[in-house]
Chains A and B, each alone.
Chain A
Amino acid sequence: MARVGVFVCFCGANIADFVDVPTVVEEAKKIRDVKFAIDYKYMCSDPGQQMIRDAIVQHRLTSIVVAACSPRMHEKTFRKALSDAGMNPYLLECANIREHSSWVHQKDKKGATDKAGDLVRMAVAKSIANEQLHEISVPVTKRALVIGGGIAGIQAALDIADARIPVTLVERSPSIGGRMSQLDETFPTLDCSQCILTPKMVDVASHPYIELIPYSEVIELDGYVGNYKAKIRKKASYVNFKTCTGCGACSQKCPVKVPNEYNMGIDKRKAIYTPFPQAVPNKPVIDAEHCTYLLKGKCGICAKVCEKGSIDYKMVDEVIEREIGAVVVATGYDLWDATPYEEYGVGRYKDIINSLEFERMVSANGPTGGVPVRPSDGKVPKTVVFIKCVGSRDKAKGIEFCSKICCMYTAKHAILLHHKVHDSRAYIFYMDIRAAGKGYEEFVNRAQVETGAVYLRGRVSKIYQKGDKLMVRGEDGQLGQEVEVEADLVVLATAVIPDKGNPALARLLGISYDKYGYLSEAHPKLRPVETAKAGIFLAGCTQAPKDIPETVAQASACAAKVCGLFAGDTIKKDPMVSTVSKEFCSGCQNCVKVCPYQAIVTEDIPLGHGAKEMRTVAKINEGVCQGCGSCVAICRSMAINLAGFTDPQIINEIVAI
């Protein structure tokens, strides 16, 4: 005979304002199998949990229903309360009367209360059929894969490796360093980006626990938490890194010039190149798309000048495999292309550049020797207009969100401009100055006071050319007056967008992404570095725009998560997985096709007891199974059973209402 306990939560005012909680308790008491029902302000708090623990013992309860928030929120909390009272934790059922009732029926308290009552009735009925389940243990491969070698990937790799856990760091370009290596000085302290980054890059290369695989991409990921298998394509570099000394003779002599990505296309690199002097590894690669020899079979100069004979035109892409237990994704950001801003003449005027281009110009190792110049005539600009929110906070032409970092780096740009061109003046068009961060507001203040940067509140409406000036027209909201600034150079703080490869990467990793291509975290507040797929974590701008301090913090958080996951020799997994009743399985293999996790394989079993003929049936790998239930729904023979969601449980729920 079932003895069910029902615990209804007020959730402060979240539930109680729109659902009459005492009524729900009274309704619950009317259910035959309910032997105890009570409400409390915060059921998840310790006193609330204590009520559950006490009731289990006092009333000899056989299953528990907690009517509160979403099980995604607190199912684990309440399961633990059950265990502590000596009860199997899977005898818990959550009735979600917050997200499913109070929040969505705020205008109808009676209706919301009735619905909450129904949800409780269903949960009670289901709980009666609940079975005792036990966590599954799976072994762990203690190696982490980090995708992306910017500051996020570097930090995560170093922190994990420092805990003596092996790391494989895969970087798409020939060198690690990422966007941060392109920056000049960094806010709010103006320390040199290279000075603080390059030592870390060197650490990565020399760390005994880090395997750095540059010029490579992850192309496949199979398996499940603790037991992933990754395929990595190493792009042919056409240079034997083992013998190459990095002398640079090949690049010097190479006759092919290609726009230099590191310098945002402001100058040229060669077809055989090292991205920048401080690159790690400091070895050149041949860019196959532009190399004359690889394209046409002529030239071969690099091979001739290489004293070590390290050039190998016959090199081909290579696919390698690594077994790993966890993945950190850190693919970084890109800048939005501002071409849709036709009113600014983007693309028509050479003297409109974006902020990374400006960053390269003022950078000491940049193409202009650290001095900003006008691309049109090479002159040093005296009046520079910075426009913030280009593409950001613009749902008409760009993206809706705030790119977060532009307010700060634009203040930095004003200061750097002043440092490089003393008699210059920065005009900054802004909508709001968002300087929330340690030392940030002070930094903006410094830009305004020390350099005289003029802040004008308004969005620029038009840019047009007059003589050799660009006329920048906007409203100065403070004056309530239209203004036109005669500018020599215009710098657009264009929106921060995720790497365009994110959706494809997300699909191959089996994680989700938002409409902009940012990878999605498991919970916006409480699980910001985890993805919904166990064992895959996010660091840096791949998840949302972030500055360096935040990126580093998130990367270290990923490392802590990975270390935690690898702390034991096995990891525990929810027992909500499917099992196949072999005797009923017809071997149609529809379940194999629908399983989104590739958790179902087939096996051959004897046709009958002791028979020699074999037949094929489905077999589920419980380590991989995520308990989605697709196989249960498709199985015509009703041979598959999902623990925690068995047919009797579901039928009970339906019958209850």
Chain B
Amino acid sequence: MITLSYKGKNAFLEAVNKKSGADVLECYQCGKCVSTCPVSNFMDFPPREIMQMIKLELKEETLMANSTWFCLTCSACSGRCPREINIPAVMEAVRHLAIEENFTPDSKQVKNIRKFHEIFLDMIKRYGRNYELRMMAEFNIRTRNLFKDMHLAPTALLKGKIPLGVKPLKSKKAIKKMYEMAEKLEKQNK
């Protein structure tokens, strides 16, 4: 049972709308997004329900949902939404709010997804470009799953599918500085 009590303001809804540039109130719950979304059955709340939860100001539940971490930003939903809601932007706004307010869904999958993105960004920070083999290896180490995809390794490496090295950037320093500045800017915006 959820008790709904109006606190005089829809703070969460407004925060999501502002961050996403979309209007969640437009949603009339037709569910077209749900059956469009390739990953909705992996989510604990599919997009339609996320919209409703935002409308109901269920902030904590929304920020703790794994849904936004599964969103692939494939934009299939927004292309079909009869209310022209930019659903991926809403998902992204919720995810960024969750990061800002330190909400992490208690799920191994989400932790893996987040770890993957962190490692990926770290690769760019270090090399300016993605170092695919190293990224995969680090992912396996940091998720304590050393043998993941090892069955692919012999073929992939032998066939040269995944090269052993990376050509790093000349201006690596510039990239590193960008990271620092970006972090600063985001802190300011908060």
* A contacts, CB < 8 Å to B: 343, 393-398, 431, 457-462, 473-475, 477, 480, 482-483
Contact = CB atoms under 8 A, between A and B. Distances in A.
Nearest to A392: B82
Contacts of A475: 31-32, 34-35, 46, 48
Nearest 5 A-B pairs (CB), nearest first? A475-B31, A394-B82, A458-B31, A459-B32, A459-B30
Contact of B34 (A393, A394, A396, A458): A458
Given A474-B31, A475-B31, A477-B29, A459 B82 contact: yes
Contacts of A457: 31
B84 interface: yes
B150 to A, nearest CB: 34
A461 B40 CA distance: 13
A397 B82 contact: yes
A406 to B, nearest CB: 15
A396 B32 contact: no
B36 interface: yes
B81 interface: yes
A428 to B, nearest CB: 14
Given A343-B80, A395-B82, A395-B83, A461 B36 contact: yes
A502 B183 CA distance: 58
Given A396-B81, A396-B83, A482 B34 contact: yes
B34 A431 contact: no
A466 to B, nearest CB: 16
Nearest to B30: A459
Contacts, number: 57
B35 A473 contact: yes
Interface string B104-123: 00000000000000000000
15 contacts: A393-B28, A395-B82, A395-B83, A395-B84, A431-B30, A458-B34, A459-B30, A459-B31, A461-B34, A461-B36, A475-B34, A475-B46, A477-B31, A477-B48, A480-B46
Contacts of B40: 482
B10 interface: no
B124 to A, nearest CB: 35
A246 to B, nearest CB: 48
B41 interface: yes
A396 B29 contact: no
A474 B31 CA distance: 8
Contacts of B80: 343, 396, 461
A475 B32 CA distance: 7
A459 B31 CA distance: 6
B31 A396 contact: no
Interface in B73-103: 80-84
A490 to B, nearest CB: 15
Contacts of B29: 477
Contacts of B82: 393-398, 459
A396 B41 CA distance: 25
Nearest to B41: A482
B30 A458 contact: yes
Residue in A394, A396, A459, A462 with the greatest tally of chain B CB atoms within 10 Å: A459
Interface string B20-46: 000000001111111110001100001
